[in-house]
Amino acid sequence: MTGTRRAVLTGAVARLREAGVASPEHDAAELLAHVLGTSRSQLPLVDEVPSEALTAYDALIARRAEREPLQHLTGTAYFRHVELAVGPGVFVPRPETELLAGWAIEQAAVVTGRAPVVVDLCTGSGAVAKAIADEVPGAVVHAVELDEPAHQWAERNLSDTAVDLRLGDMATAFDDLLGTVDVLTCNPPYIPLDAWESVAAEARDHDPHLALFSGADGLDAIRVLERRAALLLRSGGVIGFEHADAQGEAAPAVFTATGRWTDVRDHPDLAGRARFTTARLAR
């Protein structure tokens, strides 16, 4: 049994929309391209979907309708200019985090006279670390991840880079780098424990909870981050970290309250939502 591309996609989109998937057209097309071994842009060249591909596609659409992340189904996530392997056990990098990575790349690029030293805490899949290594090839990049399954994904993604990847806790990582880091990045857990029901099913049911939840107000990990960053950064070094859109005031306040930081600023994502904070260690 075969089906026309148009009919197959129309049926898949309807199933995904009914299941509450946020981007049914995009996801239906991506999955069809995946099973056909082509790209979404090349799908218009396909007239008929062969029976074997149709069976595989139907199975993937059923899993996506159950809100399994698209990237788990394809095994791939794209982040800035790099490709990442992802799947169960690792946080799927979000497009909005590309803005944080872009800021870090700009900051590393302006270090002169020596190789910039960059640290990525809570590296997860290694997305930010890999993007920095890719776009600032002269940088010395270090990354750490606490969760062992996620660390294994990061190992896979960073195996073709010179990134120094370690397994460990951001609260104690990199004692050998104290006072030497130019740029520090982190996408920490920041969801309050009582916000469980508000989290999208793709994240709540499939991303590691260690990467999502952080105490009653969602700021526990950010408080730890502030203390560790103050030790790792050199005088005048900078930090950038992601937070929830509802923490546009609370997250920067963690840093301003200690008196250790200058230039504490919050930044919006492309939708205008508060997304990440940057700060400079006072000289």
pLDDT tens string 60-69: 999 999 888 8
Calculate ∠ Cα 237-170-213, nearest 5°: 115
Better-predicted residue by pLDDT, 278 or 200: 278
Give yes or no: residues 224 and 256 share one domain: yes
Helix (H, G, I), strand (E, B) or coil at 204: helix
Q: Check pLDDT > 90 for residue 137.
A: yes
75 vs 57: CA distance, rounded Å: 15
3-state SS, 18-41, equals HCCCCCHHHHHHHHHHHHHCCCHH
Give percent of the chain above pLDDT 90.
75
Residues 167 and 277 in one domain: yes
pLDDT in tens, 185-229: 999 876 655 554 554 555 555 555 554 544 557 788 899 999 999
Question: Do 130 and 160 fall within a single domain?
Answer: yes
Q: Is residue 129 part of a domain?
A: yes
What is the model's pLDDT at position 199? 47
Domains held by the chain: number: 2
Let me know: does 35 contact 56? Beta carbons within 8 Å: yes
Mean pLDDT of the region 151-174:
97
Question: Across 177-181, 213-217, 244-248, which has the greatest mean pLDDT?
Answer: 177-181
Question: Which range, of 36-45, 132-141, 257-266, averages the lowest pLDDT?
Answer: 36-45
User: What per-residue confidence (pLDDT) applies to 196?
Assistant: 46
pLDDT of 89 reads 85
List CB contacts of 29: < 8 A, sequence separation 6 or more.
9, 40, 43
Q: What per-residue confidence (pLDDT) applies to 74?
A: 94
Q: Residue 283's CB: how many other CB atoms inside 10 A?
A: 8
pLDDT digits (tens, 9 = 90+) for 89-131: 888 898 999 999 999 999 999 999 999 999 999 999 999 999 9
User: How many Cβ atoms sit within 10 Å of the Cβ of residue 271?
Assistant: 8
CA angle, 240 then 184 then 216, to 5°: 60
Q: Which domain does 42 fall in, by range? A: 3-66
Q: Give the residue ranges of DSSP H helices in the chain.
A: 5-18, 24-36, 51-65, 70-74, 97-109, 127-135, 148-158, 201-206, 220-232, 250-256
Q: Which of 66, 96, 115 is the last residue of a domain?
A: 66
233 in any annotated domain: yes
**CATH number reported for the structural domain that contains residue 139 in this entry:** 3.40.50.150
Average pLDDT over residues 133-147: 96
Which of the listed residues 66, 92, 113 is the one where a domain comes to its end?
66
